[in-house]
A and B are shown apart, each in its own frame.
Chain A
Amino acid sequence: MRRIFTIYLNAWQLVIKRRLLWFFLFIVNLLIAILLSIPFNGLLKSTVGDTTAFLNSNFHFDFVMIGDFLNNYGLGLRPVFQQSLVFMVVYYIIQVFFSGGILDTIIPLKDSEQNSFWKSCNRWFFDMFRISIYALLAQAVLLGLFLFFFIVLLGGISPFDIENEGNMIIIFKIVFPIYLFFVAMILCLRDYIKMKHIHGDRKWLFKTIPQTSAWLVRNLHLIMPLFLLHIISFLVCNYLYQWFKYLWTGEHGWMIFCLFLTIQLFVFIRIGIRLAHLTSVRLVNEFMGEKLRMT
């Protein structure tokens, strides 16, 4: 347990040391979001810019106004959402691109050769992209498998076949945590495969995958609690964010500015948590005394 906390804290220390990278990732996220929001802002200005309808609710959730907006101006949202989906895919690919650089350079190498971040990103992008796609496919297969098991255990999903939904709830409560465990395993496996591929045998990806899988299973007692620690960090952060967010609802400009800052702080910390997770992947590797080249 102490090892896990040590790795966790060291990971955060390294992330803080590499705060330029952290900040850079945050700026990329913010700029893309702002770019996406410009057409939305234009739509708002042309439709609700001069109405006072939204002020009555003090910017709390107002179903009537939201419903009227969607009913009467919702067509204008379609291109905005379509564009958002495209940019989300672009952001995903950008993060895949960065993952190689992060895993390669987050801990400075001991020998004299210093790989620059951008060089590493470029060098490993294709392999990282392949690994990410394989992981996505694995998640899809996992989801399909668990849905299948769930339906088999339930005896069918037609409501006419279900004896009572109490059974359904019980089966769900058993199956869902197991499913989550395997989701977490695939997420970890993906990152460790990336790390092993960069710092191990660089020739054959399909050799790295089974070797890393076996290694992961052997060291599950270390890897999963560490991953869980990062998830808990996210949940705590999210809980605090929700609490702070509701302090800033009101019809004053400074409240909106405070809300914006709160949001940015939360996103910044989220990115930090992701960086810390990737850093801890490297640190686990170092901790286990593995050589940089796999034998």
Chain B
Amino acid sequence: MDFCYHDGILPLNKKSISLYLGMHIKTGICLIILLGFIRAFSQNMPAPGRADYDIQVSLDPALKQLLGSERISYTNPSDDTLHFIKMHLYYNAFKNTSSTFLSGTMPLSELVGMEKDDNCPFSFTEITAIKDKEGRDLMQNISYHDTEADNPMDETVLIVELISPVFPKETLVLDLDWESRIPGIMPRTGSNKDFYFFAQWFPKMGVYEPAGLRYRQETGAWNCHPYYANGEFYADFGHYDVTISVPSDYLVGASGTLKQKKQHGLYTNWNFELENVIDFAWTCSPHFIEQKKQAGNVEITLLSYPDHEHCAEKYFGSVTSALEYLEDHVGLYPYKTITVVDVPIHGLFTGGMEYPTLITSMSFCFLPVGVKTTQTLTVHEFIHQYFMQMIATNETEEPWMDEGITSYYEGRIVDHYFGGKRGLIDVMGVKISNTDYNRWEYFAGGNPSIADNTYRSWEFENGGYKLISYNKTAVWLNTLDNIVGRQVMDEIMKTYFERWKFNHPAAPDFEKVVNEVVHKYHGDKFGENLNWFFDQVLRGSGVCDYSVVSIKNRKKRMDAGYLEGFEICVPVQSDEASDSMENEGIVIIEREGEIIMPQEIVIILSDGTKLKELWDGRSRTFRFEYSGPEEIVQAVIDPEYKIQLDKNFINNSKSAHTHKLTLRYYFTRFVQWMQNSMETAAWLS
């Protein structure tokens, strides 16, 4: 069928109209279907792999040894056929000082006291048997491979060549026997005296990322990094059924729920189970005291040594507060338990870490009540249940996605529950909020431009890991929160959580959610999207600093000189002769940093009037001019301190005249400090 357009005009008759409509309706239907398909495709995120573990392990405290056997059921999530698999043997990071981990942390290896006692503090994991589900021996097919750090001495990544490949969506079953030597207290794991903490203690599957997940485009690939000194972990979700055999006088705490406890002779078997998690950690000691508390549907278990029994409320209060806040502002906590381990001082390297439904924290008996470091650390580790456990980002490649977001929520929760501006510290007149401390740490803890958030953890080899991944991320998230508003920020995080829980998002996935939600609530207020924001804070290493440089006021003067013709010369008017004349005020603002942020500016006149200006913040300078009967007495940029990224709030405001009160007050205090210091020194004379 054709249409005959005469001079571009459709002939108006019944047939042509019905044909025209029909064609366009069909086109419309096709378009709708296509759009729906595109939408469905874009929302249809690739599922991650699944790795189920059935582990039996026995602890021998005398030999400092773990003997374990495990069955791994790994489901290939991709459309690719896998001919080999990669696994983590994290304990080999402490095998010798040539490992990638220990060679990246030389002072650490000296710190663990290698020369003390007869106990060698190093560790290893040795696979003693590995078979596939047909019972075929794969021991000849294993090798250790580290391409990234190019370290032939590192054995934290194990490659197993399979006899039968794993086809797309098929499940591979492997049976392993292994033996581990337990290290002295190393970062996150080990033993000291009779305290044991086991993290990353079993042979663990690497992650095969299918096409479409994270940065995989056409095909999938293994994402299985060696264990770096900086950087943590990455694993798929699965079911864990773990039976731990320890001497009967030991009390065990672990991820998950205790299903069964059975004594046999001098040993007791503890059986734990946990569904839909990425890891399993456990601890034991004959000195643990167990205390429990219910917080809604969640049972909180606290394991601590007797001298810390009285610190229980710090932990229970922190976890309860964090749980309540996150369920309100992010999403539901789906597990029935959370175990908090208050590690003893001789196990301090294991403190301050997070595992599925188990966290480690620390307290000191002598901390004043106003110092909330224990609560802060506990809250931080609990938040990781959401960001790192349920949203299982790749901590090695994108550490900001768990540490930074967690630090952001740490500030919100601690300041909300423990007193706002004094949430972190409130001692002898010194009041510090968690959010403010985090900002201070970003600017004072080193060079804030040392790196950007695209750095992978091992790339922070000259410093900046904590500064950029934790502090900087929290600061720009706070800035984003202030810019878009708390309600929209909560909506962003809820959407992000619901969309990506039990999956492996990457940075573009987070940015996409932000752009989507901000556009929904604010339209084009911040431009087409917030990529301009992420380009600077996520992918850039610049610093933000806006300052009010000068305020000038002068009487408006009439023009002087030969104004009409060449005969009459109008003299320049002096300020004294100009009572009736208007004032001219000029405020100059500069962008001293690299980061561009839109700014609110408030100009205050001598009669108290406030004038508000909005500036896009792009150019290096901004000039505000005023003409009227009043004078400009003050100029303030960002009066509500929304742009937390600004490194200097002091130069955000300026008065037309020196503010003598400020000078007098601090001069007085300095004189006081000097006088008292000298008089104290005089007592030694």
- Chain B residues whose C-beta falls within 8 Å of the C-beta of A68 in the assembled complex: 443, 647-650
Nearest-neighbor residue (CB-CB) of B287 within chain A: A164
Interface: B678 (CB within 8 A) = yes
For A60, list chain B residues within 8 Å (CB): 429, 431
Residue in A closest to B683 when the chains form the complex, CB atoms? A274
A44 contacts across to B, CB distance below 8 A: 662-663, 666-667
Cβ contact within 8 Å between A251 and B653: no
In the complex, A4 Cα to B437 Cα: how many Å? Answer: 50
- Which listed segment binds A: B255-263, B613-621, B669-677? B669-677
Query: In the complex, how many angstroms separate the beta carbon of A229 from the nearest chain B beta carbon?
Result: 15
A24 adjacent to chain B (CB < 8 Å): no
A114 interface hit (Cβ, 8 Å): no
Closest chain-A Cβ to B114's Cβ sits at a distance in Å of: 12
Interface of A is mostly: helix
User: Which residues of chain A are within 8 angstroms of B670 by Cβ–Cβ distance?
Assistant: 36-37, 40-41
- Knowing A61-B429, A165-B307, A251-B661, the reply to whether A51 touches B653 (Cβ < 8 A) is yes
For window 139-188 of chain B, which residues contact chain A by CB distance below 8 Å?
A: 184-185
CB-based contact B653/A263 at 8 Å: no
A65: B residues at CB distance < 8 A: 649-650
Given A32-B674, A99-B685, A263-B675, A50 and B655 contact (CB-CB distance below 8 Å): yes
Tell me which residues from 45 to 103 in chain A have a Cβ below 8 Å from any Cβ of chain B. 45, 47-55, 59-61, 63-65, 67-73, 84, 87-88, 91-93, 95-96, 99
The reply to whether the CB of A9 lies closer than 8 angstroms to some CB of chain B is no
Interface centre among B429, B653, B678 (most CB of A within 10 A): B678
Is the CB–CB distance between A37 and B674 below 8 Å?
Answer: yes
Q: Is the CB of A63 within 8 A of B671?
A: no
Per-residue 0/1 for B428-465: is the Cβ within 8 Å of any A Cβ (1 yes, 0 no)?
A: 01111100110110011000000000000000000000
Contacts A51-B659, A61-B431 hold; do A160 and B648 have CB atoms under 8 A apart?
no
- Selected interface stretch from A105-113, A195-203, A207-215, A252-260: A252-260
Q: Which of B598-626 contact A (CB under 8 A)?
A: none
A289 on the interface (CB 8 Å rule)? Answer: no
Chain B count of residues within 8 A CB distance of the other chain: 68
Q: In the bound complex, how far is the Cα of B665 from the Cα of A260, in angstroms?
A: 9
Q: 1/0 per position for A264-294, CB-CB distance to B under 8 A?
A: 0001001100100000000000000000000
Q: Is the CB of B654 within 8 A of A67?
A: no
- The answer to whether A169 has its CB under 8 Å from any CB of chain B is yes
Cα–Cα, bound, A252→B660 (Å): 10
Of the listed stretches B342-350, B369-377, B474-482, B505-513, chain A binds: B342-350
Asked if A33 and B674 sit within 8 Å, CB to CB, the answer is yes
Q: Does A151 contact B (CB under 8 A)?
A: no
Contacts of A167 in B (CB 8 A): 307
Q: How far is the CB of B115 from chain A (nearest CB, A)?
A: 12
Given known pairs A49-B658, A64-B440, A253-B661, the reply for A164 and B679 (CB within 8 Å) is no
Q: Does A29 contact B (CB under 8 A)?
A: yes
Any chain B CB within 8 A of the CB of A158?
yes
Q: Which of B112, B429, B430, B662 contacts A55 (CB 8 A)?
A: B662
Considering the complex, give the chain B residue whose CB is closest to the CB of A135.
B684
Shortest CB-to-CB span from B240 to chain A, Å, is: 30
A166 is an interface residue with CB less than 8 A from chain B: yes
Q: Do the beta carbons of B655 and A92 come within 8 Å of each other?
A: no
Q: Any chain B CB within 8 A of the CB of A187?
A: yes
Taking the nearest CB of chain B, how far is it from the CB of A79, in angstroms? 14
Is B346 within 8 A of A160, CB to CB?
yes
Interface presence of B651 (CB below 8 A): yes
Pair A92/B685 contact, Cβ less than 8 Å: yes
When chains A and B are docked, how far (Å) is the Cα of A73 from the Cα of B444?
A: 12
Chain B, Cβ-Cβ closest to A54: B662
Q: What 1/0 mask marks residues of chain B from 632 to 645 whose CB sits below 8 Å from any chain A CB?
A: 00101000010000
Interface residue? A136 (CB, 8 A) = yes
Chain A proximity mask over B182-220: 1 for CB below 8 Å, otherwise 0: 001100000011000000000000000000000000000
Q: Known contacts A33-B674, A33-B675; decide if A132 and B650 are in contact (CB<8 Å).
A: no
Q: A63-B437, A95-B685, A256-B665 are in contact. Are A162 and B346 (CB under 8 A)?
A: yes
> When chains A and B are docked, how far (Å) is the Cα of A32 from the Cα of B673?
12
Q: Is A235 an interface residue (CB 8 A)?
A: no
Instruction: Determine whether the beta carbon of B655 is less than 8 Å from that of A136.
Output: no
Give chain B residues whose Cβ lies under 8 Å from the Cβ of A40.
666-667, 670
**CA gap between A61 and B364 in the complex, in Å:** 26
Q: Which B residue's beta carbon lies closest to that of A63?
A: B432
Residues of A within 8 A of B674 (CB): 32-33, 36-37, 84, 87
Residues of A within 8 A of B533 (CB): none
Tell me whether A30 is interfacial, beta carbon within 8 Å. Answer: yes
Asked if residues A49 and B662 are in contact (CB atoms below 8 Å), the reply is yes
Q: Which chain B residues border A95 with CB–CB below 8 Å?
A: 681-682, 685
B682/A47 in contact, CB under 8 A: no
Max count, chain B CB within 10 A of own CB: residue among A40, A64, A159, A259: A64
In the bound assembly, the distance between CA atoms of A256 and B674 in angstroms comes to 17
CB distance from B69 to the nearest CB of A (A): 32
Would you call A263 and B671 a contact (CB within 8 A)? yes
Given contact pairs A88-B678, A164-B345, a sample of 10 additional A-B residue pairs in the complex whose CB atoms are under 8 Å apart: A33-B678, A40-B666, A50-B656, A51-B651, A64-B649, A67-B436, A167-B307, A260-B668, A260-B671, A274-B682
Residues of B participating in the A interface, judged by any CB pair closer than 8 Å: 112-113, 116, 184-185, 192-193, 305-308, 344-346, 348, 364-366, 429-433, 436-437, 439-440, 443-444, 634, 636, 641, 647-668, 670-672, 674-679, 681-685
Name 13 interchain pairs, CB-CB below 8 A, sorted by A. A36-B674, A37-B671, A47-B650, A51-B651, A52-B634, A63-B433, A65-B649, A67-B443, A91-B682, A92-B678, A160-B113, A260-B671, A274-B683
10 nearest CB pairs, A to B: A166-B307, A95-B685, A33-B674, A67-B440, A95-B682, A91-B678, A263-B672, A52-B653, A33-B675, A164-B307
Interface residues of A (CB under 8 A from B): 29-30, 32-34, 36-37, 40-41, 44-45, 47-55, 59-61, 63-65, 67-73, 84, 87-88, 91-93, 95-96, 99, 132, 135-136, 139, 158-167, 169, 187, 251-253, 256, 259-260, 263, 267, 270-271, 274
